[in-house]
Chains A and B, each alone.
Chain A
């Protein structure tokens, strides 16, 4: 600090330079392997669709790729968005109950419950999803119970249905909902809730007038953290679903690696990214929490 005291401008300049040096390697990595690839993806999506990995691809500004991609693959695209949206909504309901319980009702068990929320996250995603295959299987406990209660017919199944896919997505992305919700709820001053009890007779009114609005930043970031990966995911759709539940992620993957149809795969990837960006921007604007970014 003595240096700073005697020659402040130079020292400050040096600190500024240190900042750049600290940032440089990581920023270069992101530039090379995040931003430049995006450029490659845009270029790939405009390649001549007749090309192949053997003959090479020509850049022909083939905007028609986007039309072809949408025409051929709109059902899995909208299916993915639909599954993602339903799973996000379910995550919000379940996650809100859990986050609320941790923030306001857990008392001295708060830290333990938080650890329990992130703990399942540390076991392999695929192995956990395989467990759901067993749980929802035709001879599993859940199907047997539902059949016993006559909710499900005798030949009714859960596995290989959209229900199973959505249940898997909800399960897998729930921690991404709970943590930001908890962060928002935990910041709420309990005195505000008490004041609302004095002003509104019923707690439920107080909840919707005080707690819910104050937790909106958590709701917005939680739903985004759930929705974005859930739309791109194809592990649940493939392991828990059937041929009718194919989603856009699986299409893009197989176009790239099996069919070598890079141009259409690139266009589909871009369409997915653009749709998600548009929805996110619209949503963030409507929710009115633009300080999120």
Chain B
């Protein structure tokens, strides 16, 4: 840009600029290599259950996803827990986010700390303290679906609060003021203006909560008793031979969540264009 640069400096600068971008793209590729492997292995025709490598192409894994019934029941249990945990954590977390952004009261900093701490604790500590509580309260024999659900709601809650809070804090207050000026009451303003504006944040939080819940292993493993979720199933088969259907589940999860993220983004752009017109 500056005219005083020697050709050598200019060349150095060109390399510098593109080197960083190239480095960034290489890091992105590093992040995606395992995803390619997951997709590839979902079409794998393994010769032996014990050797984990690509032996040949087949559609069998996709046609018979439930060849191992234990896997499908683990997946459906994970989905049930994930949906329930997402629903409850999203409702409670959104309420908390509204309280923290829109209302002034005593003890806000304590509330903020209580929301931050679960995210700053290693999962193994969160899981073992919950197990200690369940055992001390006499629920050692009843570990299972409900104790997993309780744990998942607990660790999803903080992530929901910070996601929705970020969206709420970035909201333009003038829009709500305008609605009130136009004689909308508080309820109408909330339903017609505030909620639709915050909704993408809530949806993002719900998506995050579901994937956190569906994916959790360490906390779940401590509090599951004899119940098996999908990550626990994968953990179990990792020791004795992995059925390729596990990769089908991984691929489906990836495709669905990317579709949701892209859909939300496209919808946002469409709305922005409509507003600009």
Contact = CB atoms under 8 A, between A and B. Distances in A.
Q: Do A and B come from one complex?
A: yes
A229 B123 contact: yes
B235 interface: yes
A125 interface: yes
B155 to A, nearest CB: 9
A216 B41 CA distance: 40
A154 B2 CA distance: 53
Interface string B102-138: 1111000001011111101111111011111101100
A134 B92 contact: no
Interface in A101-121: 101-102, 104-106, 111, 113, 115-121
A231 B123 CA distance: 10
A26 B136 contact: no
Interface residues of A, number: 90
Contacts of B218: 232-235, 249, 253
A30 B41 contact: no
B125 A40 contact: no
A214 interface: no
B132 A16 contact: no
A137 B28 CA distance: 22
Contacts of A25: 92, 95
Interface string A126-137: 111111111101
Given A34-B117, A118-B261, A229-B123, A127 B98 contact: no
A273 to B, nearest CB: 5
Max chain A CB contacts within 10 Å: which of B13, B100, B105, B230? Answer: B105
Contact of B257 (A122, A249, A266): A122
Given A105-B24, A115-B261, A265-B128, A120 B118 contact: no
A228 B24 contact: no
Interface stretch (B58-66, B167-175, B193-201, B209-217): B209-217
A155 interface: no
B87 interface: no
B48 to A, nearest CB: 13
Interface string B209-235: 001001101100110000000110011
Interface size class of B (residues with CB under 8 A): 35 or more
B124 A29 contact: no
A224 interface: yes
B103 A35 contact: no
A98 B27 contact: yes
Interface in A219-257: 224, 228-229, 231-235, 239, 248-249, 252-253, 256-257
A257 B215 CA distance: 20
Interface in A4-25: 15-16, 18-20, 22-23, 25
Contacts of A266: 128, 132
A26 B133 contact: no
Interface of B: 2, 13, 16-17, 20-21, 23-25, 27-28, 30-35, 37-38, 41, 52-54, 92-93, 95-96, 98-100, 102-105, 111, 113-118, 120-126, 128-133, 135-136, 140, 150-151, 153-154, 157, 161, 180, 186, 211, 214-215, 217-218, 221-222, 230-231, 234-235, 238, 242, 246-247, 249-251, 253-254, 257-258, 261-262, 265
